[in-house]
Amino acid sequence: MWRDALLVAGKDLRIEGRAKVALNQVGPYALVVLLLFGFAFDEDRPLLENAAPGLFWVAVLFSGLLAVQRSFSLESSDGAVDGLRLSRLDPAGVFLGKAAAVALQLVVLEILLTLGIVVLFHTELSGAALLAVSGVVSTVGVATAGVAYAALSMGLRVRETLLPLLLAPVLAPIVLAATEAWRSALHLSTDDGWRWLVLLGCFAAVYLAGGVLSFGSLMEET
Amino acid sequence: MRSVLAPPRRLTRALGWSALAALALNTWWGLWLSPPDVVQGQFVRMLYVHPAVATMCYAGFGLCALASVAWLLPRLRSPRWDRLAVAGAEVGAVFCAATLITGSIWGRASWGVWWTWDARLTLTAILFALSLGYLALRRAVSNPQSRAFVSSLVALLMALTVVVDHYATDWFVTLHQGETLPVPSPTVHGWQLATMLVSFFAFALVFAWLVVHRYRLEALEERYDSEAFTLALQARRSEGEGVQPPPHVVKIAPEPAGQGQDRQPVEVPSR
């Protein structure tokens, strides 16, 4: 399973490395979203600083949707998905590989967005451990839920519009918990951020387990 | 199960009239007989709508999840479970919307705002969005087998959200009150308790009536999907042979795409 996961992740990342869609399109899009938030809250500077973690994770959610859609549009073209189905790769390995590739792209994107909120929203970084751990756990949750739902809607004609509708409510608890953990790390709230991290971990574990268990059947049925 | 979900029409009609009568009784007791509350005043009358509606919302999604689990088990797999799942989800979504609306009105009266970012409220809104996604997914997948499978997975996630939503007032610090009728010592008494119990009974009847009808509708849609093509072929063949097709074929057979406006309606002789 792990070997197959590495194989699929390597394949997806090589394609991204050559096409540079994440770098040339998704990254700039995420920064534009941050800029738009800036325009929207420009007159209320303290509000912008206070809401920075939430705006950051909403930007990650939007960009994550694009990354996941891109990951499965690769498989939709030229019947590549049939090749994936007919290959003897372990479906759980395929799921983990695709999720890992999306997660890695999201981590790069999050680093870019962190620089964005520091420069644009004057966020002072603190609580590095909580920021990093909650960032990684949230990314795992976003990537696993995203890949599972993208597989679910892969064969549908309306997948571009259906996927955000299906995925956004599923990712809402992740966005909420990640925002609260980051607010705590950045001293914007008095909540215990590590408690939110436990909640994040629970959701990420459920999505990861659900994806691993159901991906094979999803690939067959859709 | 067939006898429960496909009862004789007379029984369904009786269920509908009972639901209407129970709703009327609930309205009478809730608006006239039950006294105003010491703290909430007249707004306490929302107590006779909102908790019952929210419970039916949970019941709908719970029914959907149970039916989905039954469909996922190979030994129990049957289209009936899928029909029951969609009936539960759709009725649950209607009650979820009603929960949000009635809760919002009560929130405005009690807290002074239509909406607040409380865990219970937020989770209910997420549940509603999930149910809309579930219904959209069902409309998007045409293969019945695939549709039942993917929607079952989404239904399980909705059930998980229902559990978290239900315990949100215990697990998080929320503005929303905890359990309305804690067993064995409820916090409401007298007319208020009686009216509240009537409201649960009335909305349960409405829920059952809606589920039975939605189940029937789904069965009819499935029949239409499976028989429409055959009936259309039969109708066209009859036309080609110059024979008048049987009336039920003309009624059911769909017009070919794009030709409906140019064609003359087929005259069906009355029996």
Write down the pLDDT at residue B261.
Answer: 46
pLDDT in tens, B2-51: 556 667 788 889 999 999 999 999 999 888 888 887 777 888 888 899 99
How far is A26 from A66, CA to CA, in rounded Å? 7
Touching B: A residues 167-186, CB under 8 Å: 168-170, 172-173, 176
Touching A: B residues 112-131, CB under 8 Å: 122, 126-127, 129-130
Q: Using the predicted structure, report yes or no on whether residue B262 has a pLDDT greater than 50.
A: no
Look up the pTM and report it: 0.79
The CA-based angle A42-A47-A53, given to 5 degrees, is 105
Write down the pLDDT at residue A76.
Answer: 76
Contact call for A206 and B137, based on CB within 8 A:
no
Q: Where are the beta strands (DSSP E) in chain B?
A: none
Using 50, 70 and 90 to split pLDDT, how confident is the model at B247? low
Reduced to 3 states, what is the DSSP secondary structure of residue B114? coil
Query: What are φ and ψ of residue B41, in 5° steps?
Result: 65, -135
Which residues in A168-207 are b (16+ Cβ under 10 Å) and which e? bbbbbbbbbbbbbbbbbbbebbeeebeebbebbbebbebb
Q: Which CATH class is domain B9-219?
A: mainly alpha
Write down the pLDDT at residue B81.
Answer: 92
- Return the higher-pLDDT residue of A85 and B263: A85
Reduced to 3 states, what is the DSSP secondary structure of residue B184? coil
Q: Using the predicted structure, report yes or no on whether residue B259 has a pLDDT greater than 60.
A: no
Reduced to 3 states, what is the DSSP secondary structure of residue B152? helix
| Residue B116 CB contacts under 8 Å (≥ 6 apart), including other chains | B107, B175
B112 φψ region: left (φ > 0), alpha (ψ -120 to 50), beta (else): left
ipTM greater than 0.95, yes or no?
Answer: no
Contact call for A221 and B149, based on CB within 8 A:
yes
For every residue of A65-89, DSSP letters joined together read HHHHHHHHHHHHGGGHHHHHHHS--
Write down the pLDDT at residue B270.
Answer: 46
Instruction: For residue B129, give the nearest of A162, A168, A214 by CB distance.
Output: A168
Going residue by residue through chain A, which has 222 residues, state the pLDDT in tens, using 9 for 90 and above.
788 888 888 888 888 888 887 778 888 888 888 888 888 887 677 888 888 899 999 999 999 898 888 888 877 777 777 777 778 888 888 899 999 999 999 999 999 999 998 988 888 888 888 999 999 999 999 999 999 998 888 777 777 788 888 888 888 888 888 998 998 888 888 878 888 899 899 989 999 998 898 888 888 776
| Residue B125 CB contacts under 8 Å (≥ 6 apart), including other chains | B100
Q: Is any Cβ of chain A less than 8 angstroms from the Cβ of B133?
A: yes
Q: Distances in Å between the alpha carbon of A153 and those of A63, A71, A90, A156, B131? A: 18, 13, 20, 6, 16
Q: How many CB atoms lie within 10 A of CB B234?
A: 18
| Minimal CA separation from A52 to chain B, in Å | 17
DSSP code of residue A103: H
pLDDT in tens, A139-198: 999 999 999 998 888 777 777 788 888 888 888 888 888 998 998 888 888 878 888 899
Contacts of B129 in chain A (CB under 8 A): 165, 168-169, 172
Write down the pLDDT at residue B224.
Answer: 84
pLDDT in tens, B187-219: 667 788 888 899 999 999 999 999 999 999 988
Give which of B77, B118, B141 to mutate to test A binding, by max A Cβ within 10 Å.
Answer: B141
| Residue A166 CB contacts under 8 Å (≥ 6 apart), including other chains | A149, A152, A153, B133, B136, B137, B154
**Secondary structure in 3-state letters for B185-216:** CCCCCHHHHHHHHHHHHHHHHHHHHHHHHHHH
